[in-house]
Amino acid sequence: DAGITQSPRHKVTETGTPVTLRCHQTENHRYMYWYRQDPGHGLRLIHYSYGVKDTDKGEVSDGYSVSRSKTEDFLLTLESATSSQTSVYFCAISEVGQGLYNEQFFGPGTRLTVL
């Protein structure tokens, strides 16, 4: 399994509070992604990073920001959590070359509940 950890694994918070989720990888992959999974929607891309300090928006980026100050860490921040952001969040990594093309490898997920 790819070395990807997410913290926390579970979090319950209240509407209006800031929340930061962390993704940590030990694979030295260049690309990192944040997705959310909701019933009836599959996985949807929130933000992604193509290098340290290089990030871009995905399909559902409103209400989220990201930062990547080191290759191994990718942070997802909800500045002011809302109930619609209750979801399961997955981090993924990928690399090109070394026998890989564009397969993404996923972390175990963080279940976030916003009350």
Partner 1 sequence: DQQVKQNSPSLSVQEGRISILNCDYTNSMFDYFLWYKKYPAEGPTFLISISSIKDKNEDGRFTVFLNKSAKHLSLHIVPSQPGDSAVYFCAASLYSGAGSYQLTFGKGTKLSVIP
Residues in contact with partner 1 by the rule CB under 8 A:
4, 30-31, 40-45, 48, 50-51, 54, 56, 58, 90, 92, 94, 96, 101-109
Smallest distance from partner 1 to CB 24, Å:
14
Residue with Cβ nearer partner 1 (59 or 79): 59
Minimum CB separation from partner 1 for residue 28, in Å? 15
Is residue 84 classed as helix, strand or coil in its secondary structure?
helix
| CA 16 remoteness from chain centre | 20
Q: Which is nearer to partner 1, 14 or 50 (CB)?
A: 50
By beta-carbon proximity to partner 1, the closer residue of 14 and 57 is 57
* Residue pointed to by tokens 């990888």: 25
Q: Which residues contact 73 (CB under 8 A, 6 or more apart)?
A: 22, 23, 24, 25
In the complex, least distance from residue 6 CB atom to partner 1, rounded to whole angstroms: 8
- CB closer to partner 1, 10 vs 79: 10
Sign of CA dihedral 4, 102, 31, 83: negative
